[in-house]
């Protein structure tokens, strides 16, 4: 690799040795010589005192940079999404990184990439890592895909502290029938008889409407209301988390030790990135906002149906202490030296599927009005992109200038009726042979996703992520049908095999699209009812015929409406493998009725999430997980086999 000063005084880091036979992702990553991260930071406009180094190749960036740059106009804001993917994924991250490299290293534009941190579950399971691929990667990919700076570990610790607080409170209230005794344990008197409330206790008193700061002034009735949460164990929705795919923890029974006095409860574990705390991290605007969001997270209700929060349990402040460093975005770089923020990692099928607001905000200021910020929304344009527009952009106040829609011939053939694609198995021959009929039928899914993007009032550029067996005739057919469906442009991109050089045409199309006038708009007003918002998403984004609400969903909708949560946006939890709720329905299914089996509240994150069909929040491992390939060279300490 050659390193030189690029246009406008920035470091350029172009690939000089691109092999025709593309090596493995980890071989490419380990062959690169990363620019020291403090130099990447300085080149991006980050001052030394705004940087916290985590070694030579990664760092955290202080949020104070936003205040320094508050008067700088934002750059262009581009969201990368996709058609409905195969189980193998269609290369959104690879496209995002390749496009960034093209804009920065080849076209001389100021650019920042903002993507999610991956869970270690898929990294050791089926899918592998998420640093991109080929010659379009975030490096070092080992750091990216594993611990990075510990944000997910902080989330795990905070989540499980809250889970412990829930069950210990239930235990102590069950074993302490006297309100006075319970109050004395929460506010023990000193030797002189004085007592004190902690800050989080004062929050609970204000919530109860008790305007007293001295514990000794509370009446017996007020003491009981303050001390006894009366949590209904059957209402508890807060589960423990682990950043490992472990199907055996999906349902467990806790409290079986002899000291727990028979207070057992059926619960389970979720994957760490499914925690509401991950969503809070992604949507919080600053430390104050994060503290408030963490404190108002709802863990269940009392026996009267009143929501119980983390602050009611007294743990909101402690959660914030565990999470305060995680709020700073992580700075890394691409193979060709363009800067990247890697921050937050909520799944898009069971959460809102977007990287953090603070990373995007900082990046938009750093690139300035002539620059570009690329952010990726998880899975297809009916899931992660919809949540980007209706949840993330509502919270941030930002509006995208352009959407890039990634499509592959492989996925289009699947949607056109091709053989089933199964992760870990060889692709059937239909996917490596020219078949214009399959491609044309599959382009119905592409057209629907273009329609979804345009529904928000922004131009859509289709990126045809090229694979080696794609034919010129197939690619040209996709281009023609994409333009007919309303795409601003449709461009073949070969960034996996060529790095930024293979995405220059795509970059040009994106630059042109960003100059087009747009009128960004949300899909629904928050004032509509919970059911109305759900039905708008099903009708407009999925093409569904209607919604069926199961009894538990009906009960929760009534409860949340009564509690005042009905004005929150909606975060649908559904399969990413179909426009519908059924992963077997490919292409553009019609006439389907979506079953909503439950609705849960992420009040801290700021959304309600309906569960469509059977959704697992803890993935399992296959017979032959990727961890079979992963090892370390004891002589060099290098990681082997990570993908």
What is the structure's pLDDT at 128?
A: 80
Q: Which of 183, 379, 385, 592 is catalytic?
A: 379
What is the structure's pLDDT at 12?
A: 53
As given in the structure block, the two tokens for residue 6 are 């690029």
Q: Which of 496, 565, 592, 607 is catalytic?
A: 496
As given in the structure block, the two tokens for residue 210 are 């008790």
Q: Rounded to an integer, what is the distance from CA 383 to the centroid of its chain?
A: 11
116 given a catalytic annotation: yes
Q: Which of 94, 96, 123, 244 is catalytic?
A: 94
φ/ψ of 404, rounded to 5, equals -105, 125
Q: Which of 467, 539, 561, 567 is catalytic?
A: 467
Residue-wise pLDDT for 466-494, tens only, equals 999 999 999 999 999 999 999 999 999 99
The CATH code belonging to domain 152-310 is: 3.30.1510.10
pLDDT beneath 50, residues of the chain: 1-9
What architecture is the 530-612 domain classified under in CATH?
Answer: Roll (3.10)
Asked whether 294 and 316 are in contact (CB, 8 A), the reply is yes
379 given a catalytic annotation: yes
What is the structure's pLDDT at 347?
A: 84
Distance CA 221, CA 319 (A): 30
What is the structure's pLDDT at 220?
A: 96
Distance CA 208, CA 205 (A): 5
Report the sign of the C-alpha dihedral through residues 387, 352, 296, 302, in that order: positive
What is the structure's pLDDT at 187?
A: 95
Bridge-based pairing state of the strands 269-271 and 240-242? parallel
What is the structure's pLDDT at 14?
A: 83
Task: Report CA-CA distances (Å) from 113 to 43, 103, 370, 482.
Answer: 15, 11, 15, 26
Bridge partners (DSSP) of residue 406 are 82, 463
567 given a catalytic annotation: no
DSSP letter assigned to residue 570? B
59 given a catalytic annotation: no
Bridge partners (DSSP) of residue 354 are 377
Q: Which of 60, 76, 116, 600 is catalytic?
A: 116
152-310 and 530-612 share one fold: no
Q: What does pTM read for this prediction?
A: 0.95
What is the structure's pLDDT at 357?
A: 98
DSSP letter assigned to residue 265? E
Q: Which of 76, 110, 127, 410 is catalytic?
A: 127
Type and span of the H or E element at 462: strand 460-465
Distance CA 599, CA 595 (A): 11
As given in the structure block, the two tokens for residue 303 are 């026996």
Q: Which of 102, 348, 363, 403 is catalytic?
A: 348
94 given a catalytic annotation: yes
Q: Which of 92, 296, 441, 574 is catalytic?
A: 92
What is the structure's pLDDT at 3?
A: 38
127 given a catalytic annotation: yes
Topology adopted by domain 4-33+72-139+335-514: Rossmann fold (3.40.50)
| Domain definitions of the chain by residue range | 4-33+72-139+335-514, 152-310, 530-612
Bridge-based pairing state of the strands 330-334 and 339-342? antiparallel
What is the structure's pLDDT at 7?
A: 41
Bridge-based pairing state of the strands 372-376 and 111-115? parallel
183 given a catalytic annotation: no
Task: Report CA-CA distances (Å) from 59 to 55, 144, 324, 338, 599.
Answer: 7, 12, 15, 15, 38
């Amino acid at each position: 690799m050659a390193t030189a000063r690029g246009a406008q005084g920035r470091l350029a880091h172009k690939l000089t040795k691109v092999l025709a036979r593309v090596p493995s992702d980890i071989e490419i990553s380990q062959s690169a010589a990363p620019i020291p991260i403090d130099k990447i930071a300085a080149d991006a406009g980050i001052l030394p005192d705004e940087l916290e180094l985590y070694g030579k190749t990664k760092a955290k960036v202080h949020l104070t940079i936003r205040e320094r740059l508050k008067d700088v106009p934002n750059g262009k804001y581009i969201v990368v999404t996709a058609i409905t993917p195969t189980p193998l994924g269609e290369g959104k991250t690879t496209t995002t990184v390749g496009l960034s490299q093209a804009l920065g290293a080849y076209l001389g534009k100021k650019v920042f990439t903002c993507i999610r941190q991956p869970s270690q579950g898929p990294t050791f399971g089926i899918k592998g890592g998420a640093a991109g691929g080929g010659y379009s990667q975030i490096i070092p990919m080992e750091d990216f895909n594993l611990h990075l700076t510990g944000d997910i570990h902080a989330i795990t610790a905070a989540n499980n502290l809250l889970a412990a607080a829930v069950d210990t409170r239930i235990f102590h209230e069950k074993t302490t029938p006297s309100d006075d005794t319970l109050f004395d344990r929460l506010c023990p008197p000193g030797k002189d008889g004085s007592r004190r409330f902690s800050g989080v206790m004062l929050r609970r008193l204000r919530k109860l409407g008790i305007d007293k700061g001295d514990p000794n002034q509370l009446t017996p009735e007020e003491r009981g209301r303050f001390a006894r949460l009366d949590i209904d164990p059957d209402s508890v929705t807060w589960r423990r988390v682990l950043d490992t795919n472990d199907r055996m923890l999906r349902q467990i029974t806790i409290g079986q030790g002899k000291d727990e006095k028979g207070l057992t409860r059926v619960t389970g574990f979720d994957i760490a990135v499914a925690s509401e705390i991950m969503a809070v991290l992604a949507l919080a605007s600053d430390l104050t906002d994060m503290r408030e969001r963490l404190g108002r997270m709802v863990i269940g209700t009392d026996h009267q149906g009143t929501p119980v929060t983390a602050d009611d349990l007294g743990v909101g402040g402690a959660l914030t202490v565990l999470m305060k460093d995680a709020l700073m975005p992580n700075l890394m770089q691409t193979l060709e030296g363009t800067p990247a923020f890697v921050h937050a990692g909520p799944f898009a099928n069971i959460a809102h599927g977007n990287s953090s607001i603070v990373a995007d905000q900082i990046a938009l200021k750093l690139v300035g009005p002539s620059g570009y910020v690329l952010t990726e929304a998880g899975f297809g344009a009916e899931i992660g992109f919809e949540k980007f527009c209706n949840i993330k952009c509502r919270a941030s106040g930002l509006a995208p200038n352009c959407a890039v829609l990634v499509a592959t011939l492989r996925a289009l053939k699947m949607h056109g009726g091709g053989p089933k694609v199964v992760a870990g198995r060889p692709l059937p021959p239909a996917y490596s042979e020219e078949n214009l009929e399959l491609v044309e039928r599959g382009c119905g899914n592409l057209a629907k996703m273009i329609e979804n993007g345009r529904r928000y009032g922004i131009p859509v550029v289709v990126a045809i992520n090229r694979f080696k067996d794609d034919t010129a005739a197939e690619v040209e057919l996709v281009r023609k049908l994409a333009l007919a469906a309303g795409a601003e442009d449709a461009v073949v991109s070969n960034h996996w095999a060529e790095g930024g050089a293979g995405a220059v045409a795509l970059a040009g199309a994106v630059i042109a699209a960003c100059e087009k006038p747009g009128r960004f708009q949300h899909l629904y007003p928050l004032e509509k009812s919970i059911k109305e918002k759900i039905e708008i998403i099903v009708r407009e984004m999925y093409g569904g015929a209607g919604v069926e609400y199961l009894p538990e969903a009906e009960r929760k909708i009534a409860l949340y409406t009564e509690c005042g949560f009905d004005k929150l946006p909606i975060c649908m939890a559904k399969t990413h493998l179909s426009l519908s709720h059924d992963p077997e329905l490919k292409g553009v299914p019609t006439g389907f009725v979506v079953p909503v089996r439950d609705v849960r509240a992420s009040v801290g994150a700021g959304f309600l999430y309906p569960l469509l069909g059977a959704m697992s929040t803890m993935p399992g491992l296959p017979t032959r997980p990727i961890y079979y390939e992963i090892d370390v060279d004891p002589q060099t300490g290098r990681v082997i086999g990570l993908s």
